[in-house]
Structure 1
Amino acid sequence: MSLATLTVLGFSLSADAFAAALGKGAGARRPDLLEAFRVGAYFGAFEAAAPLIGWALGLTFAARIAAFDHWVAFTLLAGVGGHMVIAALRAPKAETAEASKARQKRALSPLRLALAALATSIDATAVGIGLAVTEVNILMACALIGAITTVVAAGGVLLGRGAGPLLGRKAEVLGGLALIGIGLKILIEHLSA
């Protein structure tokens, strides 16, 4: 597989992470460049590991995984997205500075980042299964996918940071709805195939 093809694959797989990172950036308290790359690294690491896992599973388990991978992706994405929406809607309109700071800090907690990164990387596992039947340097492919996703997700955080003050809680709701939408898209694509 050519470098150009792997690059396109990397950008394609990073789209979900970008959407999730956009919501994370909007919900966070003015993340700086270092924080954006920390978030990007979560998404990049999961996105890099997922194809390797899929590749290792190979075609032997493809039928078993294909039967339910879309449900897992949907459940994780809808759960994380739904939680984002509920948290944004439940927060009081007039929030104290301390409460606002705590809520914004939770948006970038390691557990929430890991769950979002896991949810957005499930499709990359399926891609890894497909890569098992191609001639590809899987380590190079995973490194490239991870690097692209890291940069794209960091950009999403920074764009979300800009949108957050303009949109307020609406940005968090939109980020959550985007994750739910991605989950629905994955589910519909698999169920209609």
Structure 2
Amino acid sequence: MNLYATLILAFGMSMDAFAAAIGKGASLQRPGLREALRIGLIFGAIEALTPLIGWGVGIAASRYVMAWDHWVAFTLLLVLGGRMILEGFRKKDEECEAPQRHGFWLLAMTAVATSLDAMAVGVGLAFLQVNIVTTALAIGASTLVMASAGILLGRFLGPVMGKWAEIFGGVVLIGIGTSILVEHLGIL
């Protein structure tokens, strides 16, 4: 795989994280560059690990991983998104004070859910002559940049949206999960 194809793949793999990061950034209280980079690093590291894991199990278990990855991603994103929507509706307008930062485990769960497609890509790459380390690093770096940018973009959306920011973030996560499921099932 040439450099151009690797960069396109990396950019494509980072788009789910970008969309999720916008929702996460919108639900925070004016996240700064440091918080954006922290979240971007969590998303990027996980997004870089998943194709390595997929590549590692690809030869032995590709049909099992590819048969279930979309259901796992959909379920995780549905649960996380549903939780965000419920929390958004539970807030009254006057208690719209957004948190300063999201917890590591919540971010890691979101990152895992949005990176399961990268694991499936890793499975596919196991059958090609690809430098998986370089490809995984490109995917991780692209995700770091895109997720950080998503957080900063969400920063501007959060104050405008108020309590609806968390609801928006939940809808985005559910939308990503549904998109992954529809794409893998070949419905559209």
C-alpha offsets along residues 61-105 of structure 1, whole Å, 9 cap, x if unaligned?
A: 111112211110000111111111111111122117xxx2xx514
Q: Give the deviation of 1:40 after TM superposition.
A: 0.3
What does 1:1-193 correspond to in 2, within 5 Å? 1-95=1-95, 100=97, 103-105=98-100, 108-192=102-186
C-alpha offsets along residues 127-165 of structure 1, whole Å, 9 cap, x if unaligned?
A: 000111111111111111100100000000000001100
Q: Which amino acid aligns with 2:37?
A: F
- Structure 1 CA distance for aligned equivalents of residues 3 and 186 of structure 2: 31
- Structure 2 CA distance for aligned equivalents of residues 112 and 87 of structure 1: 14
| Structure 1 ranges of 4+ moved more than 3 A | none
Q: Give the deviation of 1:56 after TM superposition.
A: 0.3
How many pairs were matched up? Answer: 187
Indicate if the aligned counterparts of 2:50 and 2:116 stay in contact, CA closer than 8 A: yes
Question: What is the TM-score when the length of structure 2 is the normalising length?
Answer: 0.95
Indicate if the aligned counterparts of 2:93 and 2:163 stay in contact, CA closer than 8 A: no
- Structure 2 CA distance for aligned equivalents of residues 173 and 182 of structure 1: 14
**Identical aligned residues as a percent:** 50
Q: Give the deviation of 1:60 after TM superposition.
A: 2.0
- Structure 2 CA distance for aligned equivalents of residues 81 and 38 of structure 1: 21
- Structure 1 CA distance for aligned equivalents of residues 40 and 145 of structure 2: 6
- Structure 1 CA distance for aligned equivalents of residues 107 and 154 of structure 2: 15
Q: Which amino acid aligns with 2:173?
A: L
Q: Give the deviation of 1:168 after TM superposition.
A: 1.3
- Structure 2 CA distance for aligned equivalents of residues 113 and 143 of structure 1: 20
SS at 1:94 equivalent: helix
Q: Give the deviation of 1:36 after TM superposition.
A: 0.3
- Structure 2 CA distance for aligned equivalents of residues 132 and 33 of structure 1: 36
- Structure 1 CA distance for aligned equivalents of residues 25 and 175 of structure 2: 18
Q: Which amino acid aligns with 2:145?
A: V
